[in-house]
Structure 1
Amino acid sequence: MGKKTVDKNVLPKKAKSVQKTETQKNAPTETQKAGSKKVAKKAEPAPAPVVEQVQVNNDSSSEHFQGNISSIFESLIAQNDNILNNQRQMLTTLRRVFKTHSRNMRDYEKNAARERRRAKKDPNRKKREPSGFAVPTSLSSKLCDFLGIAHSEKLSRTDVTRKVTSYIREQNLQVPENRRSFVPDKKLGAILGPLQEVDKGKGFTYFNLQRYITPHITSSAASSQ
């Protein structure tokens, strides 16, 4: 018996309709194609920001901040150095003052102990009378007027010297380059008189002052008579 050939084009109606339906389902519609194009356009990435400009700004601000921090540290270090130097100077001054105070206290204790021993030996001992420069003497009228005291008042040579040197300091008569020398004003010059030949190289000083006030002071021997 011969085989029957089946024509592929001859298919049942149901089968054709099923194939057509599946094909329509699988085939993309124009709306879907247009939608996918729109989605693709929306999904395009935005242009990247200029990173270099932001980086440059960050670098400059960072350098400025670091510069401020460095200047603050340098200022603090300088202030600390000043404080340390001041503390060293204060410590040196305190040591010097303490040393001077200790020396003065030792001298005071020695003198006080000496006086106590003398008092114990002879409590009724008469006090030693002043001698030499400590003896009150009569002064010339000219010197009394200069010192502003009565003509009858007596002063020791030590007191006269103290008053004259105080006048020199108060009137700023000292030589700036050598504070032991001075240039007398008209009032003091009337008491001291002209420079003697021996002092012309040095001028008036505290060392030769006694030579010029001696003529105005009566000797202790003459005043005691």
Structure 2
Amino acid sequence: MDGKANIHEQFVSILDTISGFKSNITMLQNQVRVLEKVVKKQIKTYQKEAAKNRIKGNKKPSGFAVPMKISDKLCDFMKKPKGTEIARTEVTKYIIKYITDHNLQWKENKRIIKPDIKLKNLLDLKKNEEVTYFNLQRYMNKHFIKRNKEKNENVKLM
């Protein structure tokens, strides 16, 4: 009887060990699945970022970011040499900084700009004209010399 009990205990022990291995394998399989999902998500986000960077990186500036020749009046205002080419975005940043540095905003409504003499002369404002951040570009437009106008002027001179 002692031999049967010993064999039975060995079977039980082996079955318990197999059961433990089986639960460990199941747990490991679940961990691998979760890890696989996380890695796939990360790969997707990295691929999207890489695609965006490829598109953005090789683009030449367009629209407001294209450097244009600016008027002599604007060059004097910005303390730049005459004939300078600069992007509209940079000019706008400079003017906004000028407005904030010289406290040229209404206290009640900070969207409205109350220009000083220097800014009034630059924008060629008429009496009682209201300047806001929204319509600032309208007044700045005349200070940007378009390239085709430059070419036409050169042709006329010849």
User: Normalized against structure 2, the TM-score is what?
Assistant: 0.59
Q: 1:185 to 1:136 in 2, by over 3 A?
A: same
The match for 1:117 is 51
| Larger Rg belongs to | 1
Shift of 1:137: 0.3
What is the 5 A alignment of 1:29-48?
A: none
Partner Cα separation in structure 2 for residue 224 and residue 126 of structure 1: 30
Q: From the superposition, tell whether residues 185 and 134 of structure 1 become closer, same or farther in structure 2 (CA, over 3 Å).
A: same
Q: Distance in 2 between matches of 1:138 and 1:165?
A: 20
The letter of the residue matching 1:215 is K
> 1:190 Cα shift?
0.7
Q: Structure 1 112/184 Cα, relative in aligned 2: closer, same or farther at 3 Å?
A: farther
Partner of 2:123: 192
C-alpha RMSD over aligned residues: 3.2
- Which structure is higher in RCO with an 8 Å CA cutoff and minimum separation 6? 2
Once residues 183 and 130 of structure 1 are traced to their aligned partners in structure 2, the CA distance between those partners, rounded to angstroms, is 32
Show the 5 A alignment for 1:99-118. Answer: 114-117=48-51
One of 87, 99, 103 as aligned partner of 1:168: 99
**Partner of residue 181, structure 1:** 112
- Out of 109, 127, 132, the position equivalent to 1:205 is 132
Q: Take 1:208 and 1:148, find their aligned partners in 2: how far apart are those partners?
A: 24
Unaligned runs of 5+ in 1: 1-109
Q: Deviations over 1:24-63 (max 9, x none)?
A: xxxxxxxxxxxxxxxxxxxxxxxxxxxxxxxxxxxxxxxx
SS at the partner of 1:168?
A: helix
Tell me the TM-score normalized by structure 1.
0.42
Runs of 4+ aligned residues of structure 1 deviating over 4 Å after TM superposition are: 110-113, 220-225
How many residues get paired? 109
Once the 2 structures are TM-superposed, how far is the Cα of residue 128 of structure 1 from its aligned partner? Answer: 1.1
Aligned residue for 2:70, secondary structure, equals coil
Q: Pick from 59, 68, 76: which aligns with 1:137?
A: 68
Q: What is the percent sequence identity of the aligned residues?
A: 38
**2:81 aligned with 1:150:** yes
Contact 2:71–2:83, Cα closer than 8 Å, also in 1:
no
Which residue of structure 2 lines up, in the alignment, with residue 13 of structure 1?
A: none
Structure 2: 5+ residue stretches without partners: 1-43, 153-158
Residues 163-212 of structure 1: CA deviation (Å, up to 9, x unaligned): 0111000000000011111111011111001248xx84xx1100000011
How many angstroms does 1:126 deviate by? 7.5
